[in-house]
């Protein structure tokens, strides 16, 4: 006869089962998939293209971008993307997203450096060219001076920074900094 206070009486049948996954654990896993799906939907189309996703997942992520946010259809579509994510290697996908975001931040950092150097070159002239060439010997002095001269000429006509030569100067500096 078993005693009611016996601990064996209160054990669940799954306590000794190694393969048992609780509902709470399953829900946490699904939430991770849906959060990653939200991150995918938040990316631009070119970023999504770089991730090389499964065709069905790719199509559904792009479809989600067309649905209004905060609607029931959007929520259901995110759930469906979460369901599709079960068949994707999550760690690999998270790593790809992380690398892409780091690459984007590196690109914007390079652009910021190039913009600062452009401003310095336009304001200081030849002395800044000399310092820049000492720091980056691959830059061509003549090309730099020519771009600076053209940029200054265009900026006197149109004071905004969107002139063709200014953009070309920034591109040239960026390309040389990348190497």
Helices (H), 3-140: 7-10, 23-42, 45-50, 55-65, 72-85, 90-124, 126-135
Confidence (pLDDT) at 86: 86
pLDDT per residue as tens digits for the range 75-115:
999 999 989 988 888 888 888 888 887 777 777 777 788 88
∠ CA 36-42-43 to the nearest 5 degrees? 95
Place of tokens 């970023």: 47
Confidence (pLDDT) at 73: 94
Query: Is 169 within 8 Å of 118 (Cβ atoms)?
Result: yes
Query: Is 8 within 8 Å of 2 (Cβ atoms)?
Result: yes
What share of the chain has pLDDT > 90, as a percent?
A: 12
Residue 49 has pLDDT above 70, yes or no: yes
Confidence (pLDDT) at 74: 92
Domain ranges for the chain: 21-88, 106-178
Give 60's pLDDT tier (boundaries 50, 70, 90).
very high
106-178 CATH fold? Diphtheria Toxin Repressor; domain 2 (1.10.60)
Give 179's pLDDT tier (boundaries 50, 70, 90).
low
Q: How far apart are CA 58 and CA 53, in angstroms?
A: 6
Q: What is the mean pLDDT of residues 2-29?
A: 67
- Upper half-sphere CA count for residue 31 (Cβ side, 13 Å): 6
Confidence (pLDDT) at 56: 93
Give which of 163, 137, 131 is closest to 150, Cα–Cα. Answer: 163
pTM confidence score = 0.52
Q: What average pLDDT does the chain have?
A: 81
Confidence (pLDDT) at 71: 93
Neighbours of 112 (CB within 10 A): 10
């Amino acid at each position: 006869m078993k005693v009611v206070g016996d601990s064996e009486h209160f054990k669940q049948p799954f306590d000794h089962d190694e393969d048992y996954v609780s509902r709470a654990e399953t829900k946490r896993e699904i939430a991770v998939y849906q959060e990653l799906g939200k991150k995918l939907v938040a990316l631009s189309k070119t970023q999504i293209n770089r991730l090389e996703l499964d065709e069905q997942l790719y199509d559904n992520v792009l479809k989600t971008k067309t649905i209004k946010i905060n609607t029931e259809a959007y929520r259901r579509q995110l759930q469906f993307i979460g369901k599709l994510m079960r068949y994707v290697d999550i760690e690999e996908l998270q790593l790809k997203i992380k690398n892409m975001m780091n690459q984007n931040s590196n690109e914007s950092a390079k652009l910021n450096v190039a913009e600062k150097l452009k401003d310095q070159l336009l304001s200081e002239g030849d002395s800044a060219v000399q310092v820049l060439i000492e720091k980056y010997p691959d830059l061509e002095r003549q090309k730099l001076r020519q771009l600076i001269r053209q940029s200054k000429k265009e900026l006197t006509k149109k004071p905004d920074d969107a002139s063709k030569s200014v953009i070309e100067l920034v591109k040239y500096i960026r390309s040389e900094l990348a190497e």
